[in-house]
Amino acid sequence: MNTYDPQSTEKKWQKIWQETSLYKTPTNPKNPYYGLVMFAYPSGNLHCGHWYPFTGGDILARFARMHGHDVLHTNGFDAFGLPAENAAIKHGKPADEWTDENIATMKNQYAAMGNMYDWDRVIDTSKPDYYKWTQWLFLQLLKADKAYQKKGLVNWCPHCHTTLANEQVIHGVCERCETKVERKNLKQWYFKTTDYADKLIKGLDTIDWPDRIKDAQRNWIGRSEGTQINFTIDGHSDALTVFTTRPDTLFGVTFMVIAPEHPLVDVIISDTQRPAVSQYVNQAGKKTDVARMEEKDKTGVFTGTYAVNPATNEQIPIWVADYVLMGYGTGAIMAVPAHDERDFEFAHKYGLEIKQVIEGDVQANTVHTGAGVLINSGRFDGLEGDEAKNEITDWLKESELGQTHTQYRLRDWLISRQRYWGTPIPVIHCEGCGVVGVPETDLPVVLPLNQKIDSTGRSPLLDDSFVNVQCPHCKSDAKRETDTMDTFVDSSWYYLRYPNPHYTQGPFDHEAIKQWLPVSTYIGGPEHATMHLLYVRFIAHFLYENGHIPMAEPLPKFICNGLIMGPDGNKMSKSKGNVVDPDDYVSKYGADSVRLYMMFMGPYDDGGPWDPQRFEGAHRFVNKVYDLATAQYKTQELNTEIEADLEAKLHKLIKKVSEDIGEAHFNTAIAAFMEFTNTLTKVRQAGSVSADAWKQSITLLAVLLAPITPHLSEEIWVTVGNTESVHLQAWPKYDEDKVKDDVVTIVIQVNGKLRGEFVATTGTDQAELEKLATALNQKENFTNDAETVKVIVVPNRLVNFVVK
């Protein structure tokens, strides 16, 4: 058996590919394919979690190239951010040094994967030639009034010493370090994502993304249609406005609840209730929204003031309770305890009135939450569902007490961070002129390098040398903004840079992006559903609207890769000690074995646990292919039937592999390869086909495997006598006639009812099928001895006995 030496072979080809610029991106693409995989941050070590998406992306890019596409495929580094800064602090190194070292290591690791990257196009978001344009992007948003500063309660991670966007708080903890997030009242920078809420929802219908990602975005944006209703407050001129999706329950409103932070609390509160309310408001201010929403036991206090239900003219008490959030709707609700769970719980606890207005079986301890026929609702009795909602809303509109309203759950994106290692926000604060954007000609605002940061994480941008500056307008002394941007801003536009990464006239070269956009396939993990994948769409919509890019959804196809787990089935993590380091495997078995194994683990969007035993299997396959391809083949006893069969199997393999890779179903494609090599093994043992037929099989096998095992394929390809790279070959076509199934299942019916079936050669004629079916009937007696009056035969499908 000839064994494959992955070490020397893979290195040899990587060197040749590089020397011959095999993966250089063609200019002026006629038939572009832009393959993109989410870039990684320079952690310093590529683990299997990186290999997985990048390998899938590489296979698709190679596959596209062999289909005649001009391919743009490269990679980069999402180099700013807290993990880098924290690691640098830990190692007592400047963050830039630490990052550069990691990038150097990772470039070698990437090279070892054998991916067809065009390394001239690598992006590093922490370099001024990139972040200059991230700052440019910020200035465009500022100019368009889509970037603004606001003081308010924000999420604060005490461990990371910085604010976080809502998207980055997962179940109340920091997305990065899992520390419980606190609330702080701070002035921060925001991007107006909410202005795009509707567009971001509508755009989902135009893109081919997995449903789970689209659903996550829809839920996060949370569009809901309802009514805003103004309630008069007894003894006050202010109205209390609520947002409700259930105007049909208006007659059942028995109290109101306002959020502790609501500006009216202070205004309407009665003197006797003031101490109790103040204390409650204080307590509530310490909890996060998530904690408040998840709290089982509802709490609240009466304000001492009443509102008037416009439908019944009844006085209803106004309560303060923290189950109502200031950040949603109007921060106040009309409570309908008979038909809303939370209101019911609250009413039950505090002995408030419960009034049923929707027909249904309501017992002492239940709530009827669904829609239904209205009762106890005056002239609206008997109406139902949308009709009831519309009628009541119309009445409210006529009486100028309300209007229809669309509400979104999405909040603006908080993008400022109080940390050093990020893109400086290009803004100057001047006492006279206010907030002044740094003139574009002064970009970039340079991040000082070579900084030693202590464990408190204090940003050196707070130093006078950075802060003190002249106002670009009035030239008086002014102060630079010291916050940096969320790294998700850096990654919100990086894909526009690859088409011409060294462009100096702007963030992206319009000609180049016109040629390459849209991105053909974007691959990445599902964990970014409501973070990166939402931000990147928001920025695209913004850039499109302002005439910077030619389309609003430049990432129309997204493939979600699954997650690779440790051998124990848990998420890979250092603390669990179950991290599989691909480097060990690559040095022992070669990159192709790792690629092949990963792609064979299961459906690409599932991922799964790393199984060393199955890895051995994948590695054996690589050796087997090499052995089949390189060993001497000798015809011993030529068998034309077996030769024809081999050819048919080869064509079926082409068909299967083409379809499967095209749909990113890599595992089933690999299974087909394995089956085919089993056939080849048998053929070789018997020597049953001609030398030409054998060579054809091996040659095509090398070509078909090229996207998955690029080194092995290249090696085989030259071994069988070719000179040009296998990666420059056209993808093979199959012959339709040869992939037709040779046998079909013929159904036997009696008077049209299914009775049995048998297998026959495809294309067997009618007379023969009737004969076969009749013979079977004599044995099985499908017709139950009844007299056959007619036999209907449909070739390749059925034989129907018509009996008396």
What is the separation of C-alpha 42 from the centre of its chain, rounded to a whole number of angstroms? 20
Supply the minimum distance, in Å, between the C-beta of residue 225 and ligand ANZ.
Answer: 9
Supply 545's token pair.
């609207």
Decide whether 78 or 340 has the Cβ nearer to ligand ANZ. 340
**Residue 250 binding target from Zn ion, ligand ANZ, none, CB below 5 to 8 Å by type:** none
Helix (H, G, I), strand (E, B), or coil: what is residue 358? strand
Note whether 310 binds ligand ANZ by CB under 6 A: no
Question: With binding defined as CB under 6 A, does residue 245 bind ligand ANZ?
Answer: yes
Q: How far is CA 182 from CA 102, 285, 408, 531, 803, in A?
A: 32, 10, 24, 20, 81
Element (H, E) at 465: helix 464-467
Which DSSP state fits 734?
A: -
Q: Is 719 in the site for ligand ANZ (CB under 6 A)?
A: no
Q: Which of the residues 764 through 803 are near ligand ANZ (CB under 6 A)?
A: none
| 246 part of the interface to ligand ANZ, by CB under 6 A | yes
Query: What residues between 197 and 236 interact with ligand ANZ by CB under 6 A?
Result: 224
The alpha-helical segments, DSSP class H, found in 663-765 are 666-686, 691-705, 710-719, 736-739
| x-or-dash string of contact with Zn ion, 453-472, rule CB under 5 A | ------------------x-
Instruction: With CB under 5 A as the rule, give the number of residues binding Zn ion.
Output: 6
In the complex, least distance from residue 477 CB atom to Zn ion, rounded to whole angstroms: 9
327 is an interface residue for Zn ion by CB under 5 A: no
DSSP secondary structure code for residue 287 in this structure: S
Q: Does residue 173 contact residue 157 with C-beta atoms inside 8 Å?
A: no
Distance CA 329, CA 408 (A): 8
CB atoms within 10 A of CB 597: 26
Q: Give yes or no for residue 352 binding ligand ANZ (CB under 6 A).
A: no
Decide the pairing of beta strands 162-164 and 147-157: antiparallel
Which of ligand ANZ, Zn ion, none interacts with 474 (beta carbon under 5 to 8 A by kind)?
Zn ion
Binding at 433: pick from Zn ion, ligand ANZ, none (beta carbon under 5-8 Å per type): Zn ion
Amino acid present at 437: G
Amino acid letter for position 583:
D
Does 389 sit near ligand ANZ (CB under 6 A)? no
Give 400's contacts (C-beta < 8 A, 6+ positions apart): none
Give the x-and-dash track for 405-444 against ligand ANZ (CB under 6 A).
--x-------------------------------------
The least CB distance from residue 470 to Zn ion, in Å, is 9
Q: Residue 328's binding partner, choosing from ligand ANZ, Zn ion, none, with beta-carbon cut-off 5 to 8 A by kind?
A: ligand ANZ
The span from the CA of 309 to the CA of 305, in Å, is 13
Q: Please report, for residues 134, 442, 461, 478, 614, the alpha-carbon distance to residue 447 in angstroms, rounded to integers and kept in the order given.
A: 13, 13, 8, 18, 48
* Candidate segments 89-97, 230-238, 243-251, 612-620, binder of ligand ANZ by CB under 6 A: 243-251
In the complex, least distance from residue 474 CB atom to Zn ion, rounded to whole angstroms: 4
Is the CB of 142 or the CB of 320 nearer to ligand ANZ? 320
Q: Which of Zn ion, ligand ANZ, none binds 245 (CB below 5-8 Å, type-dependent)? A: ligand ANZ
Give the HSE-up count for residue 63: Cα atoms under 13 Å, Cβ half-sphere: 25
Q: Is position 754 an interface residue for Zn ion (rule: CB under 5 A)?
A: no
Q: 12 touches which of Zn ion, ligand ANZ, none (CB within 5 to 8 A by kind)?
A: none
Which is closer to ligand ANZ, CB of 530 or CB of 725?
Answer: 530
Segment contacting ligand ANZ by CB under 6 A, of 201-209, 238-246, 383-391, 632-640 = 238-246
Provide the mask over 388-427, with x wherever binding to Zn ion is found by CB under 5 A and - wherever it is not.
Answer: ----------------------------------------
Give the interface size with ligand ANZ as a residue count (CB under 6 A).
17
* DSSP alpha helix (H) spans, 225-367: 264-268, 274-284, 289-294, 341-350
> Smallest Cα–Cα separation from 318: which of 346, 345, 360, 294?
346
Residue 530 interacting entry, from Zn ion, ligand ANZ, none, C-beta within 5 to 8 Å by type: none
CA distances from 293 to 179, 289, 458, 496, 662 (A): 19, 6, 33, 39, 44
Q: Copy the structure tokens of residue 627.
A: 């052995």
Residue of the chain from 371, 433, 467, 739 that contacts Zn ion (CB under 5 A)? 433
Which of Zn ion, ligand ANZ, none lies near 603, with the C-beta cut-off 5 to 8 A by kind? none
Contact predicate 380/389, CB 8 Å: no
Q: Please, what is the minimum distance in Å from the beta carbon of residue 428 to Zn ion?
A: 8
Q: What is the dihedral of CA 123, 126, 132, 135, to 10 degrees?
A: 110
Phi, psi of 133 (to 5 degrees): -85, -20
Q: Is position 368 an interface residue for ligand ANZ (rule: CB under 6 A)?
A: no
Q: Does 328 bind ligand ANZ (CB under 6 A)?
A: yes
The Cα–Cα gap between 704 and 644 comes to 20
Query: Interface with ligand ANZ includes 334 (CB under 6 A)?
Result: yes
The residue from 104, 449, 462, 474 that contacts Zn ion (CB under 5 A) is 474
Long-range contacts from 211-215, C-beta under 8 angstroms, 24+ separation:
212/526, 212/529, 212/560, 213/526, 213/529, 213/533, 213/558, 213/560
Residue 471's binding partner, choosing from ligand ANZ, Zn ion, none, with beta-carbon cut-off 5 to 8 A by kind?
A: Zn ion
Q: How far is the CB of 386 from ligand ANZ (least distance, A)?
A: 15
Interface residues with Zn ion (CB under 5 A) are 430, 432-433, 471, 473-474
Residues that bind ligand ANZ (CB under 6 A): 224, 243-246, 249, 324-325, 328-329, 331, 333-334, 336, 339-340, 407
